[in-house]
Each structure stands twice: as structure tokens, then as C-alpha cells.
């Protein structure tokens, strides 16, 4: 009888070990929708405000540098591939420069479209509803608070470009990409009007470039996650 019991215990132990080894972590998805600013009022504060918010209490990348791809699939035809690559990689470099961790790897160019859940982090293009400038989604493991994938879609509804080099009405690619890549690192949106000059402020506008450079709150946030 004792031997039978011992055998049963061993079988149960073995099956639970096999299950633990083979089960994938239950990943959760979080979505950030970046809206065009309404024009009810201009923010009156500057980018020295110290506000930042971590996503769900501090999810972050555990494996760095983060590998990601810059996609030209579905891109607006008027945008040059090199311009897209250079603007977005300047954005990831901005976050990288603000922390002691080598945060982002040199991005890879791709012609594959953005697909959430394909195991690759990608910044690319898509047709979203008017009012939405961009959407970033994160996949993370809630048990370990580890981000495992991010994907950003920039809305081709809007005209895009380099606001420093044109008088046309454009969404500045580097400006918007820096905000979206802040989400990719683990920083949340800020909505109070006093945060209006920070990169992680939740709204943007045509020809805005102030999100290209980080404010004090943005730097404090990235350094809390990845060190000085």
C-alpha cells in the first residue's frame, strides 16, 4: 500500500513538473491610444514638471537591449524609407541616452506589417480612425512584470513628415515615435494639463516637436525603470 502511494505521489509530482515546464506564461495585453489634441486650451507649464507614471506598477523589459523592427509596409507613399528609419531610430536613441542601460538595439528594417503577438516588436503603419494618431500595444507577463513585445501602428490617415523641415501641416514622425517608444519602455500616459510639455503627455498636435526631447518627468521615469 505504501509503495502504491509513493508511486502515485511520484507520478503526480512528475506530471506537475512537466506541466510547469511546458506551459507558456499567460501574457496580458495593454493598449495605448494616442489622440490628437483638442483645441480647448494650451498647456501653460514647462517640461520641468517631475511627473511620470509607470505602467501597472512597473512592468519593464528584463532582457535588454530591446530588439525591434521598423516597417515600411502600408507606409504613406510620399515618405522616404530612410526618413522613416532615421526618425524612429532617433526616437529610441533618445530614451537610450537617458538611462545607463543599453535599452534599444539598432533597429532592423522590415517590409513585414505590424502584427501583435508574432514575437517581434515592430513600429509601422496602418489605417486607423481619425482622431487617433498612433496605437501602441504591449504584451507582458503579469506574474514577472516582464514586457516581452511591443508594437506601434502610426495612423496613415494623417499627413506625416519632419515638422522642422516643412511649413505643411504634418504629424512629426520623431515627435510621435518618441512618445510611443516611451510606452514601449514601460511609461504610461500623462493627462493633467500641467504635464503638457512632457514627452509622455497623452495628446499631440500637428507640427509639434516638443516630445522629441525628454522633460524632467520623462527622464525620472525611465531612470526609475532602467537606472541612471
Residues engaged in binding Zn ion (CB under 5 A): 32, 34, 189
Nearest distance from residue 85's CB to Zn ion, in Å? Answer: 22
Nearer to Zn ion, 170 or 177 (CB): 177
Nearer to Zn ion, 9 or 181 (CB): 181
Nearest distance from residue 179's CB to Zn ion, in Å? Answer: 6
Instruction: Classify the C-alpha dihedral 178-183-186-190 as positive or negative.
Output: positive
What would the grid cell of residue 217 be? 518627468
User: Which residue, among 222, 224, 202, has the nearest Cα to 96 in the 3D structure?
Assistant: 222
Nearest distance from residue 132's CB to Zn ion, in Å? Answer: 11
Nearer to Zn ion, 79 or 176 (CB): 176
Nearer to Zn ion, 32 or 226 (CB): 32
Nearest distance from residue 151's CB to Zn ion, in Å? Answer: 14
Outline where DSSP puts E strands in the chain. 28-36, 69-71, 108-110, 122-126, 132-141, 146-155, 160-161, 171-172, 203-204
Nearer to Zn ion, 84 or 176 (CB): 176
State the distance between the two ends of the chain, measured CA to CA, in whole angstroms.
Answer: 62
Q: Which residues contact 151 (CB under 8 A, 6 or more apart)?
A: 114, 115, 116, 121, 122, 123, 124, 136, 137
Q: Which residues contact 144 (CB under 8 A, 6 or more apart)?
A: 25, 62
Nearest distance from residue 34's CB to Zn ion, in Å? Answer: 4
What would the grid cell of residue 185 be? 519602455
Nearer to Zn ion, 122 or 152 (CB): 152
Nearest distance from residue 40's CB to Zn ion, in Å? Answer: 19
Q: Name 199's bridge partners.
A: none
Amino acid at each position: 500500500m505504501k509503495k502504491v502511494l509513493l508511486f502515485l505521489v511520484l507520478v503526480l509530482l512528475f506530471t506537475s513538473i512537466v506541466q510547469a515546464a511546458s506551459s507558456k506564461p499567460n501574457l496580458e495585453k495593454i493598449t495605448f491610444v494616442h489622440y490628437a489634441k483638442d483645441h480647448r486650451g494650451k498647456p501653460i507649464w514647462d517640461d520641468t514638471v517631475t511627473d511620470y507614471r509607470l505602467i501597472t506598477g512597473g512592468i519593464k523589459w528584463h532582457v535588454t537591449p530591446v530588439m525591434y523592427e521598423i516597417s515600411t509596409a502600408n507606409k504613406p507613399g510620399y515618405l522616404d524609407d530612410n526618413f522613416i528609419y532615421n526618425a524612429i531610430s532617433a526616437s529610441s536613441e533618445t530614451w537610450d541616452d537617458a538611462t545607463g542601460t543599453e535599452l534599444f538595439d539598432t533597429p532592423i528594417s522590415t517590409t513585414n506589417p505590424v502584427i501583435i503577438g508574432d514575437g517581434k516588436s515592430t513600429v509601422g503603419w496602418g489605417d486607423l480612425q481619425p482622431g487617433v494618431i498612433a496605437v501602441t500595444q504591449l504584451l507582458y507577463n503579469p506574474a514577472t512584470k516582464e514586457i516581452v513585445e511591443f508594437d506601434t501602428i502610426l495612423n496613415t490617415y494623417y499627413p506625416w513628415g519632419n515638422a522642422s523641415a516643412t511649413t505643411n501641416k504634418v504629424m512629426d514622425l520623431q515627435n510621435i515615435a518618441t512618445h510611443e517608444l516611451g510606452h514601449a519602455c514601460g511609461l504610461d500616459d500623462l493627462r493633467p494639463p500641467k504635464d503638457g510639455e512632457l514627452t509622455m503627455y497623452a495628446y499631440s498636435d500637428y507640427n509639434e516637436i516638443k516630445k522629441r526631447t525628454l522633460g524632467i518627468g520623462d527622464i525620472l521615469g525611465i531612470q526609475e525603470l532602467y537606472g541612471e
